[in-house]
Homo-oligomer: A and B are copies of this chain.
């Protein structure tokens, strides 16, 4: 009989979001008349902007006619989209990239999950804590995480981000081979300034660390000193892969498109000390195990960068960030401590009197009928926090704050 990859069996059986769904369901069954407001899951609610809709209709029409039909596209994505991305997201910030350094994908989850394919199973891995679970789970599957002991994976280096350190991860005192950074951060909603990110790039340069930089929430940055790309930091092309996504930028969670930048200057090493281009390896991986993203989707993504597209997504992001502002002010007015929500659509709320995340989750659900996400679900340093998201409808955010105030009072 074929042997299974036993690393999979180390993963805990239950998922955070299915546990939440079960608890919410139990509440709804026992309280059928209560109206629950869901501020838990990070999915968008606003429809696609008109410029994107128009581009998709046009692309669908192209597929209807023999002379404009498109079959297999390049595995790496179409040049029309790659060039548009480079011009708008990078050249405009003084970063020069070659088209062959950008890989279009079907969303950042695939590439942040699959990137480990090109790396050895015994690299050491660092994560900020709390963290997006995909970074951990995909490394568990690859055998890099070790064993789960008291809620922590034995071979992972956890870098705590807490209110005590203002959610700024401290440079570790040891070498790490691979390090995941996500800024603006999911789940805390916090950011690093250029100065702070520079420390990490310098650490990586000094220690030959590969940074896996997830900038999926880049479009939500409002303040000037927050870097939009890690390549704004000198030397970063030598040490970092950057993941971007249109999911939150333009409501593409159901459309599926993002991209990954693998600079040509970026190397990893063989056991014999030979340096190898990760760009070349990733290209080989994608050519073998991926067949490109839908042509229609790529045309949709291109439309985000048109003048109308830019205007329209700005409006959508403003809508969510106004939600975030209303929520932040609402939470603060109750006396609870809240972080994030300024350059990111996530609010990271400290539970009162150090109450455990799940206990606060249940109280919030049963007494204020609001669904959040227990912070501990994102890692041990998330204990004592709950995540709320600003992706809901305005009226729900306002109503949730009204309930919260009444309840805390």
Residues A60 and B53 in contact, CB atoms below 8 Å apart? yes
Complex partner residue of A43 from B72, B113, B251, B295, CB under 8 angstroms? B72
Contacting residues of chain A (105-129) with chain B, CB-CB under 8 angstroms: 106-107, 109-110, 113-114, 117-123
Q: Which one, A24-32, A134-142, A342-350, A356-364, is touching chain B?
A: A134-142
Question: Out of B47, B63, B138, B289, which one reaches A69, CB within 8 Å?
Answer: B47
A44-81 interface bits toward B, Cβ cutoff 8 Å, 1 = contact, 0 = none: 11111010010011001101111001111100000000
CB distance from A364 to the nearest CB of B (A): 23
Q: Which one of B50, B69, B134, B256 contacts A45 once the chains associate, using CB atoms below 8 Å?
A: B69
Q: A253 CA to B75 CA in the complex, in Å?
A: 12
Contact with B along A71-105 (1 / 0, CB 8 A): 11100000000000000000000000000000000
A294 contacts the other chain (CB 8 A): yes
Does A278 have its Cβ within 8 Å of any Cβ on chain B? yes
In the bound complex, CA of A157 to CA of B345 (Å): 52
Q: Report yes or no: A294 in contact with B256, Cβ–Cβ below 8 A.
A: yes
A47 touches B73 (CB 8 A): no
Q: Are A2 and B178 in contact (CB under 8 A)?
A: yes
Q: Which residue of chain B has its CB nearest to the CB of A1?
A: B208
Q: Which of B8, B53, B134 contacts A284 (CB 8 A)?
A: B8
Measured CA separation A368–B294 after assembly (Å) = 35
Distance (whole angstroms) from the CB of A214 to the closest CB of chain B: 14
Q: What string of 1s and 0s marks CB contacts (under 8 Å) between A277-320 and chain B?
A: 01001001101111111111100000000000000000000000
Residues of B within 8 A of A270 (CB): 3-4, 6, 9
Asked if residues B47 and A141 are in contact (CB atoms below 8 Å), the reply is: no
- Whole-angstrom CA separation of A71 from B44 in the bound complex: 6
Residue of B nearest to A177 (CB): B2
| Contacting pair A60 B56 (CB below 8 A) | yes
Copies in the assembly, this chain: 2
Docked CA distance A5–B118 (Å): 5
Alpha-carbon distance between A289 and B110 when the two chains are bound, in angstroms: 5
Whether A292 contacts B256 by the Cβ 8 Å rule is: yes
Q: Which residues of B contact A46 (CB under 8 A)?
A: 66, 69
Whose C-beta in chain B lies nearest to the C-beta of A207?
Answer: B1
What's the least CB distance linking A240 to chain B, in Å?
11
Q: How far is the CA of A288 from the CA of B56 in the complex (A)?
A: 28
Query: Is B255 touching A2 in the complex (CB atoms < 8 A)?
Result: no
Contact of A255 among B137, B208, B210, B296 (CB under 8 A): B296
Residue A407 at the chain B interface, CB threshold 8 Å: no
The answer to whether A288 touches B3, judged by C-beta atoms less than 8 angstroms apart, is: no
Find out whether the CB atom of B137 lies under 8 angstroms from the CB atom of A288: yes
Of B56, B57, B63, the contact of A47 (CB 8 Å cutoff)? B63
Which B-chain residue is minimally distant from A136 (CB atoms)?
B288
A217 and B118 CA atoms in complex are apart in Å by 31
Closest 8 CB pairs of A and B: A113-B289, A1-B208, A3-B120, A2-B210, A43-B71, A71-B253, A1-B269, A47-B69
Question: What are 18 of the A-B contact pairs (CB < 8 Å)?
Answer: A1-B210, A1-B275, A4-B278, A5-B118, A5-B281, A8-B281, A43-B72, A47-B66, A48-B64, A50-B64, A60-B60, A72-B254, A113-B290, A133-B288, A254-B292, A256-B291, A256-B292, A294-B297
